[in-house]
Chains A and B, each alone.
Chain A
Amino acid sequence: MSMERQSNEAFFWMLFSAGGVVAAILIPIHLLLFGLAFPLGWLHAPTYDHLMGLVRSPLVRVYLFVLCSLPLFHWAHRFRYTLYDGLQVKHLNEVIFTLCYGGAVAGTLLTGYMLWTMH
């Protein structure tokens, strides 16, 4: 491992931690509402207009950006290590690193683009 990577791991762990906190606090309620309560009819689903009204607010857009981007970095770090330890593919670490963090960056950019150009 190069000396460069030495301090960078701390950065990725920081992202993993931040993503983990966001995922832990925000995802359960979102999943409960949009994944179970509304489709299964336990609660009345919000109308399209109500949701668009919420999304139009810049604060909500920032919230959605955080909700979608940080957990992806949490996944990238954790999944990377699960592959290293679970499948013992540490020798492919360059490929795995690129795919995981590349995926997270791609998701982040996509989220940012969609939220920025929403009207």
Chain B
Amino acid sequence: MPVAKPAAAPSKPIRAKVVPIYSEFHPRWYRPRVSVYWWLGQWQYLKFILRELSSVFVAAFVVVTLFQLRALRQGPEAYARFQHWMQTPFAIALSVISFFFVMLHTITWFNLAPRAMPIRVRGKRVPEFLVAAPNYVIWLVVSVAVAWLVLK
């Protein structure tokens, strides 16, 4: 009985640098490169990148707080100078923009966190806003506590 010949193994895809030729056993695939501006292509991608960039403003807040701590260490005059700097237009602008991005971080974080922990009560899945709600409550309570301590 004749034995079937094994099929020729497919060769590696041809790189575009060579003059394109048609290989009999392997078609030339089209493989576009993802543009560096991929995140501008869709509104959802842009929203995602903005959310990720919020981490930069989180870090900026920490840096400013470290300056605040340093000013506290150096005495009342240094702290007054720090407070004065915080009133400059640059600092106010930075604070406004940072506040927007930090709020973006907080809200997206609380809304997305329930997806990592599916909670089931008596077999049924607890709806996501019910899992997210306690986070908001804790946030409110802690914020009020911090404000009270600072303003007292």
A and B touch in the complex (CB under 8 A): yes
Which residues of A are interface residues toward B (Cβ below 8 A)?
A: 19-21, 23-36, 38-40, 43-46, 48, 50-52, 54-55, 64, 67-68, 71-72, 74-75, 78-79, 81-82, 86-88, 103, 107, 110-111, 114-115, 117-118
A67 to B62, CA, bound (A): 8
A25 touches B139 (CB 8 A): yes
Q: How far is the CB of A96 from chain B (nearest CB, A)?
A: 14
Which residues of B are interface residues toward A (Cβ below 8 A)?
A: 34, 36, 39, 49, 52-53, 55-56, 58-59, 61-66, 68-70, 72-73, 76, 79-80, 83, 86-87, 91-92, 94-96, 98-99, 102-103, 105-106, 109-110, 135, 138-139, 142-143, 146-147, 149-152
Q: How far is the CB of B79 from chain A (nearest CB, A)?
A: 5
Residues A35 and B55 in contact in the complex (CB < 8 Å), given A29-B147, A46-B150, A114-B70: no
B83 touches A39 (CB 8 A): yes
A71 touches B87 (CB 8 A): no
B139 touches A32 (CB 8 A): no
A34 to B68, CA, bound (A): 10
Instruction: Kindly report which residue of chain B lies nearest to residue A117, judged by CB atoms.
Output: B73
Q: How far is the CB of B74 from chain A (nearest CB, A)?
A: 11
Instruction: Kindly report which residue of chain A lies nearest to residue B98, judged by CB atoms.
Output: A31
Residue among B65, B70, B135, B139 with max Cβ neighbours from chain A (10 Å) = B65
Say what secondary structure dominates the interface of chain B: helix
Inside 8 A of B83's CB, which chain A residues have their CB? Answer: 38-39, 45
B106 touches A24 (CB 8 A): yes
Q: How far is the CB of A22 from chain B (nearest CB, A)?
A: 9
Residues A24 and B105 in contact in the complex (CB < 8 Å), given A35-B95, A82-B53: yes
Residue among A24, A34, A107 with max Cβ neighbours from chain B (10 Å) = A24
B98 touches A29 (CB 8 A): no
The 5 closest A-B pairs by CB, nearest first: A35-B95, A29-B143, A78-B55, A75-B59, A24-B106
Residues A75 and B56 in contact in the complex (CB < 8 Å), given A20-B109, A31-B99, A39-B87: yes
Inside 8 A of B55's CB, which chain A residues have their CB? Answer: 74-75, 78-79, 82
Q: How far is the CB of A54 from chain B (nearest CB, A)?
A: 7
Q: How far is the CB of A82 from chain B (nearest CB, A)?
A: 5
Q: How far is the CB of A63 from chain B (nearest CB, A)?
A: 9
A69 to B33, CA, bound (A): 38
A71 touches B150 (CB 8 A): no
